[in-house]
Amino acid sequence: MESKTEGRRDGVWAQPYTLASGQTQSHQLGHVNLWVTLLDREWQIRSETVELDIDPVSWTETVGHTLPSKEMSLQRFIRAEGADTVTFIPAVGSLPTVVRPYQPLTIPAGEQCVIYVGTLVWMNVCVGDARTMLTEIPLAVPSLTWVGRNTMEGELCYSSASVARLVLEAVPKRPWRAVTPVTIINRREEPLLLERFSLPTPMLSLHLNERGQLWTPGVTVECETDMNSASLHVDQTVFAAAGKCQQVGPAREKVARGRFVRAFDRMFG
């Protein structure tokens, strides 16, 4: 997975990097540039969000002794004795993510489909053997939206426009996004028009496969009568097509019954 070309390597999730005092490790990942500096008594973290016209598909990492410009916002953390490793742990969003296909998709009566959805990942910068978290950075600027019956009842969610791909091979594997296979089963007698749906991202754990891609367990949504009564189920294991995976990030929330009901109450807005 790691390829060394002129000091640049591919970044890797959940792998400890060892730094020497004075060294700065810089990363280009998603829409974020990140610099982690190790000093004798402290860690320094600088980051900036960049506006890009196209989504980057690679994660490059370099180590040097050069610091970025002083204008960059700086976070300083006390460094424990002997802690010289930094590990990047991915994390799912803290709010559900509303996925909105660019073109609405119709699922005819009695049919089902699997949609591959990419959701934004947060990066936890952890240090030391105990992997103490210093900070959390979204790897792109997340948009917010509201899902609910009206402006009084509902829930704030992250928003993500999606191509809603139906073929796994066509899904771009970006290291800053996690792929979730969403199975939608329409048991109704009418077609189901899928304009948007809310994915309960805080309930999903993150898994890393051998190709360095992030996956979450699959989600199955079953519509029996109307949209509000859709039932939602989070798989225990990762989709078989993801290959051999190891869990790298836990779910933020446990699947509690009350929360679960809310999730599928608002599944389709």
Is residue 256 close enough to count as binding other proteins by CB under 8 A?
A: no
Q: Do 104 and 195 meet the contact criterion of CB atoms below 8 Å apart?
A: yes
Helix, coil or strand: residue 132: strand
Q: For residues 166 and 169, give the distance between their C-alpha atoms in angstroms, rounded to a whole number.
A: 9
Helix, coil or strand: residue 36: strand
Q: Which of 136, 128, 159 is nearest to 45 (CA)?
A: 136
Contact residue for other proteins among 37, 145, 162, 180 (CB under 8 A): 145
Q: How far is the CB of 188 from other proteins (least distance, A)?
A: 24
Q: How far is the CB of 174 from other proteins (least distance, A)?
A: 19
Q: Which of 30, 7, 62, 14 is nearest to 210 (CA)?
A: 14
- Where in 105-144 is the site for other proteins (CB under 8 A)? 141-144
Stretch that binds other proteins, among 7-15, 30-38, 118-126, 153-161 (CB under 8 A): 153-161
Is residue 198 close enough to count as binding other proteins by CB under 8 A?
A: no
- Where in 63-102 is the site for other proteins (CB under 8 A)? 98
Is residue 54 close enough to count as binding other proteins by CB under 8 A?
A: no
Is residue 201 close enough to count as binding other proteins by CB under 8 A?
A: no
Is residue 50 close enough to count as binding other proteins by CB under 8 A?
A: no
And the tokens for 197? 């749906």
Q: For residues 86 and 36, give the distance between their C-alpha atoms in angstroms, rounded to a whole number.
A: 8
Q: Do 221 and 265 meet the contact criterion of CB atoms below 8 Å apart?
A: no
Closer Cβ to other proteins, 145 or 186, answer by number: 145
Judged by the rule CB under 8 A, the positions of this chain that interact with other proteins are 98, 141-147, 151-152, 154-156, 159, 269
